Amino acid sequence: MSTTTEQQAPTEPKRRRGFSFPSAVTTLGIVTVLVWIAAIFIPSGRYTHDDQGAPIPGSFENIPSPLDAWGRVQELILSPVNGLYGIVDGDTGFVNTENVGWMFGSIGVVMFIMALGAFISVSFSTRSLEVAVSRLGDRLQSRGWLLIVVIMVLFSLLGSTMGFSVETFGFYPLLIPLFLALGYDRMVTAATIILGALTGSMASTVNPFSIGVASGEAGVSIGDGIVLRVVLWVVLTTMAVLFVLRYAAKVRRDASASVVGFVEPDEGEDADAPPPVAPGTKLTRTQVWVLVITAFTFALMVFSVVPWSSIFGGASVDPEDALLHAASVEPYWFELGWWFPQLTMLFIVAALVVGVVARMGEGKIVSLIGRGAADMIGPAIVILLARGVSVIMTNTDTIDTVLHAMENIVSGASAAMFAMLVTIVNIPLAFLIPSSSGHATLAMPLLAPLGNFAGVSPSLVITAFQMGHGWMLLFAPTNAVVVGGLAIARVGYDKYLKFIWPLLAANLVVVLVIVGVAAAAG
């Protein structure tokens, strides 16, 4: 008997659309709107400032809002533009693109990372780094953990002594392929760079652009309190290194343990990308020269921005000079004193040199430079949006109101409680003012005198302030080092938060205990 069975095509189960965390650009857009709404309800206020621009304790008074309803709407609309090239008026402090004053926007950082993208595009087209990474990965094999330790400790040391942070953008294209070759994911790269540099900045010891500025405002030497800060640097750096090593080892053992996965999120990449480097491939003479140029360029970048005279001379930095990343003391003869304009051209010139050495034609060099700069548009938008948040708080005259609330919270507390409160109250302010020098200029003239009444030394107040500021910058969406770095590494901000929250909790507990005990012990 023959029967015909009708085969029904299997029906695909309906996919449930779960929540997808927005991109970094959307996240910062939401943050911008929320801060703008908050600024509507926060009363405007202003301190009287001294000749150095520091607020005078007890001088706060509420003022009428400097903006009408339409002016507030304009602030929201123009915040990305002001975040890119807004200029601060020297008399009013208002940020606008038509002012005469000093640059508030992040155009310098944007130009720097676009130039970096140009250099990456030209140098990577020679495949010199791919071959070098392949050979280095073969040699390191099971010792990848050592590379993580060395990089994190080095970046932490640089962050602690000179505020090394935005300079880390250049290291992502170097380290991502290396860590992937060693069996790690992109989160390991991002965490190694971000936590290395920002943990060091959090535990600054002689950083002239945070501890130096704060010491100048508090009227003490940059070396006061350095023993406690060194202890905190050792403890916090050790915690960060062990935290990353634990995750890296877990990911290498089991790829499914990765928070971000190993699937490359490069949907827009060229379909005709070159094949992977074959095992045992040797570097050509041209590729060796490209690596030499690359190493020299990055070494010169680090050397050129270090304020050697301030670090070894133990001097503070005037707030105005911090805007230009320049120390207020006489520089040593060998210091270059470069900052974003010079660093931008360093990478452009290096890209041209690589193109000439690799015998590329003029057309190819120009095309690669344009492509590389375009690849950095996404991170650039993230950075200018983050800066735009600070513009809104500045132009609505609400930052001083937040400062006044801080002043009221810490007044009258015991020594130990005061030190811990100084750490806590500076956390939200760091969200609004990611610049450590700008934050110190505003907060320290108020907190240092209050510390005297609570029996807490100015040096400990500085340390507590720096801990709160640095802790927030480890994950603040307004910190260009975090959101820009994650954008370059193509790691979602939500994934980063999921990864880092246990370390954040542990750091906060350790910091509060140490500063509290130090204050109680006198």
pLDDT tens per residue, range 116-153: 889 988 988 888 877 887 777 777 777 889 889 989 99
Indicate whether 267 pLDDT > 50: no
Reported as a pLDDT band with limits 50, 70 and 90, residue 91 is confident
Q: How many CB atoms lie within 10 A of CB 435?
A: 22
Indicate whether 1 pLDDT > 60: no
Rounded distance between C-alpha atoms, residue 194 and residue 192, angstroms: 6
In this structure, of 164-178, 274-288, 476-490, the range with the lowest mean pLDDT score is 274-288
Reported as a pLDDT band with limits 50, 70 and 90, residue 19 is low
Rounded distance between C-alpha atoms, residue 186 and residue 192, angstroms: 10
pLDDT tens per residue, range 434-482: 888 778 877 888 888 888 878 899 999 999 999 999 999 999 998 989 9
Rounded distance between C-alpha atoms, residue 173 and residue 100, angstroms: 37
pLDDT (0 to 100) of residue 8: 47
Q: What is the mean pLDDT of the chain?
A: 84
Indicate whether 351 pLDDT > 90: yes
Indicate whether 271 pLDDT > 90: no
Rounded distance between C-alpha atoms, residue 21 and residue 27, angstroms: 8
pLDDT (0 to 100) of residue 472: 96
Amino acid at 117: G
Alpha-helical segments (H) within 396-479: 399-410, 415-432, 436-454, 458-473
pLDDT (0 to 100) of residue 261: 81
Reported as a pLDDT band with limits 50, 70 and 90, residue 201 is very high
Rounded distance between C-alpha atoms, residue 111 and residue 343, angstroms: 9
Q: Which residue has the higher pLDDT, 18 or 169?
A: 169
Indicate whether 301 pLDDT > 60: yes
Instruction: Report domain extents, the chain.
Output: 24-47+60-261+278-521
Reported as a pLDDT band with limits 50, 70 and 90, residue 280 is low
pLDDT (0 to 100) of residue 310: 66
Q: Are 127 and 287 in contact (CB under 8 A)?
A: yes
Burial class (CB in 10 A: 0-12, 13-18, 19+), 282: exposed
In this structure, of 13-22, 90-99, 214-223, 423-432, the range with the lowest mean pLDDT score is 13-22
pLDDT (0 to 100) of residue 325: 56
Average pLDDT over residues 255-262: 87
pLDDT (0 to 100) of residue 173: 83
- Cβ-Cβ contacts under 8 Å for 251 (sequence gap 6 or more): 183, 184, 185, 187, 188, 257, 258
From the list 431, 423, 447, 444, the residue with the least C-alpha distance to 508 is 423
Rounded distance between C-alpha atoms, residue 198 and residue 204, angstroms: 9
